[in-house]
Structure 1
Amino acid sequence: MGLIAFLKTQFIVHLLVGFVFVVSGLIINFLQLCTLVLWPINKELYRRVNCRLAYSLWSQLVFLLEWWSGTECTLFTEQATVDKFGTEHVIVILNHNYEIDFLCGWTICERYGVLGSSKVLAKKELLYVPLIGWTWYFLEIVFCKRKWEEDKDTVIEGLKRLADYPEYMWFLLACLGGRFEEKKDKHLDSVRVKLSSRYLCLAFFLFPRKEGFLCICVCLYRTLTVAAVYDVTLNFRGNENPTLLGTLYGKKYQADMCVRRIPLEDIPENEKECASWLHKLYQEKDALQERYEKEGTFPGQRFKPPKRPWTVLNFLFWATVLLSPLFTFAIGIFASGSPLLICGFLVFVGAASFGVRRLIGVTEIQKGSSYGNQEFKKRE
């Protein structure tokens, strides 16, 4: 094991990386709060500034994946689809099977220049999570309770507000309401739901939810001129099950992403027809996953979009700004010889460690939605 690989496994290094992310995030949130004065004066300027501020935070996580751990993302698609990346408003359907699936999505967003302006339909609980939820609030992210009867009006109003968004936007959407967990009851319940319906059951996905998908397609198509849906099926070579902690430890993964571009006008607006169309789409995704398990690859031409230097430069900037005074402060504390100050500093370090671990916990599979179980119970 080389020196750099050894350092990546050390707790103190993880703590320093977490410190940079958390403190820079709080600074960015404060700057975002200050930008609210721009909203009544120049809404477009407010949005462009917040896209850059959000990029400065999210790109630190992308740096962690593509530079720190060295994870590679390979696209399987067509040249005509690649040529469209970063030049149109789109809805991205990304399977929700892994802890870092969102991070792989962000990596592709970064490489095509839409990371800061990317959007997501997020569960309302995330609104109260420091850094993540707060940054999303200033980005006008749409939050929902995952109960369509209560969410419909909120989602429609939130989407309408994005009608004049000034930058190309990728709207990431998981139509499943939660992560697929084969070893848990959620999967079994999902299978029972599908067996009781006219649809064929899926081996790799939960039952897709049509209501939010149809609403988002219709609203964004009419207000923002969204051009297409990018259907993205993600898997990892070697049957890996990657985690954010593994990435933090410098573990390298090989992510493969099959991308299909579907013009939005090809998606039916009728609810029943849309439900059938969506389930057919997930049957195709299921077949892609099955093929990947057998052959270790997806169909289509391979593309490896090059890494850009901005994520590294951004992290180095924040590390320089924040770690230099931290080291000076720590040296001063221990040089003072004061037991009270030293104990206080150690308590601070412990609290920071706990906070970083809690943030990582937000991405863990065990924290996922209980959608699969709930849906079956409704049908009993």
Structure 2
Amino acid sequence: MTPLSGKEHALLISNHRSDIDWLIGWVLAQRAGCLGCTMAIMKDVLKYLPVIGWSMWFSEYIFVKRKWTEDQSILKSGYEKLKDFPFPFWLGLFVEGTRFTHPKLLDAQQFAISKGLAVPRHVLLPRTKGLILAVNHLRSLVPAVYDVTFTVARDNSPPSLLTLLKGKSSVVKVQVKRHLMLELPETSDDIAQWCTNLFVAKDAFLDNYFSGGSFGNEEIQDLGRPMQSLTVMIVWSCLVSMGAFGFLLWTILFSTWQGILVSAVFLLLVIVTMQILILFSQSEPNIDSMPITILPQDPMKEILLQS
């Protein structure tokens, strides 16, 4: 994190490692003090996801349909609305366009080989149209681009909603680098190349880590856990519990068969909702430990890793 995190508008460019990257992003934003002003560009179908998707929709996330002819106008409209945003915001872009999985990695490697590009091992090839549009529309408004790299620690399984519900913890390592928006190239082709180089360096960084190296040489910053958030959660939990208990007493819900039936239906809906959330959060095994046959390490990665 940087000293200005949460105090300035920022675009966040991140790799997409797990099924609950949105939760990791929320934790970062919460620690930076800007959770209420954090948005991201997400798949349109996710806004229908119970509870989580609805909260994203109410938070004015930008939802795209993965059809550029339609998404271009959606993104432009979303970027225009941000110009009147009254507080420092974060806008997250997963420029890989999809979550990192083994089959998708193999497809990306084959495409990279066919086009003579650097062959990735731990990231997918970035899709830069959305980023180019964001930079062109928000260059005068947003002062910085945060390059976020995160991964699950070695020998840890990827986190999912199911593992969280089971109380299993995962160690996630995060690195954040701040780039001035004014330093980004002007033309669309140069912005695309800048993003491509960023992901080549990101891939080399992760490759070095999974080969036994350290996760960067920067000083580790302890963000701490703000007491304010814990206090708010406790207060709201108490209020909701008291309200629910009072409602049950007022309606005498369990005194009739109808009340018991309504309660059973409500409990069933809760269970179904949780199952839907779990199905949307199924992780593969830690694919960094899977054998992958690709071309030798690209020399360009070594150069960018040192920069």
Which bracket does the TM-score occupy, shorter chain normalised? 0.7 to 0.9
Corresponding position of 2:295 = none
Say if 1:138 and 1:236 are closer, same or farther in 2 by CA, change over 3 A.
closer
Post-superposition Cα deviations, 1:99-131, rounded to whole Å, max 9, x if no partner, equal 222212211111111110111112111233344
Which of 86, 91, 97 lines up with 1:171 in the alignment? 91
Higher relative contact order (CA 8 A, sep 6+): 1
Shift of 1:246: 1.6
Mapped pair 1:232 → 2:148: yes
Counterpart residue type for residue 190 of structure 2: E
C-alpha displacement at 1:339, in angstroms?
4.9
- Give the conservation status (yes or no) of the 8 Å contact 2:159–2:283: no
**Distance in 1 between the 2:68 and 2:4 partners?**
32
- Alignment correspondent of 1:191: 109
Measure, in 1, the Cα distance between the counterparts of 2:172 and 2:98: 21
Specify which of 146, 149, 165 is matched with residue 248 of structure 1. 165
Instruction: Give, in whole Å, the separation in 1 of the partners of 2:122 and 2:207.
Output: 8
Distance 2:239 2:146 in 1: 38
* Equivalent position of 1:120 in the other structure: 40
Structure 2 CA distance, aligned partners of 1:297 and 1:144? 33
1:137 to 41, 57, 79: 57
Q: 2: distance between equivalents of 1:138 and 1:342? A: 32
**CA distance in structure 2 between the partners assigned to 1:288 and 1:138 by the alignment:** 36
* Contact 2:144/2:180 (<8 A) preserved: yes
Measure, in 2, the Cα distance between the counterparts of 1:84 and 1:154.
Answer: 29
CA shift at 1:262, angstroms? 1.1
Match of 1:242, SS state, is coil
- In structure 1, distance between residues paired with 2:53 and 2:19: 17
Q: Deviations over 1:197-217 (max 9, x none)?
A: 131111011110011111111
The 1-side partners of 2:274 and 2:52 are apart by: 12
| Contact residue 161 and residue 277 of structure 2 kept, 8 A | no
State the one-letter code of the partner of 1:320. Answer: C
**Match for residue 295 of structure 1?**
213
**CA apart distance, 1:133:** 3.8
Match of 2:194 among 277, 293, 296: 277
Question: 2 CA distance for matches of 1:343 and 1:84?
Answer: 53
Once the two structures are overlaid, the 10-residue window that deviates more, 356-365 or 252-261, is 356-365
Unaligned 5+ segments in structure 2 are: 285-307
What RMSD over aligned residues (CA atoms) do the two structures have, in Å?
A: 2.3
8 Å Cα contact 1:214/1:269 also seen in 2: no
In structure 1, what is the equivalent of residue 269 of structure 2? 351
Aligned length: 280
Per-residue deviation at 1:303? Answer: 0.3
Distance of 1:217 and 1:200 partners within structure 2: 24
Alignment of 1:33-44 (within 5 A): none
Distance 1:283 1:253 in 2: 26
Cα deviation, residue 188, structure 1: 1.6
**Structure 2 counterpart of 1:154, one-letter code:** I
Aligned to 1:87: 7
How far is the alpha carbon of 1:363 from its aligned partner? 3.7
Larger relative helix fraction: 1
- 2 CA distance for matches of 1:123 and 1:357? 20
Matches of 1:138 and 1:278, distance apart in 2? 30
Secondary structure at the counterpart of residue 318 of structure 1: helix
Q: 1:103 aligns with which of 14, 23, 29?
A: 23
Give the conservation status (yes or no) of the 8 Å contact 1:202–1:286: yes
Cα deviations by residue, 1:53-82 (Å, 9 ceiling, x for unpaired)? xxxxxxxxxxxxxxxxxxxxxx6xxxxxx2
8 A Cα contact 1:179 1:365, kept in partner: no
* CA separation of 1:244 and 1:315: change in aligned 2, threshold 3 A: same
Report which stretch shifted further, 263-272 or 152-161: 263-272
1:325 Cα offset (Å): 4.5
Tell me, what secondary structure is at the counterpart of 1:116? helix
Shift, 1:351, TM fit: 1.8
Q: CA deviation at 1:84?
A: 1.5
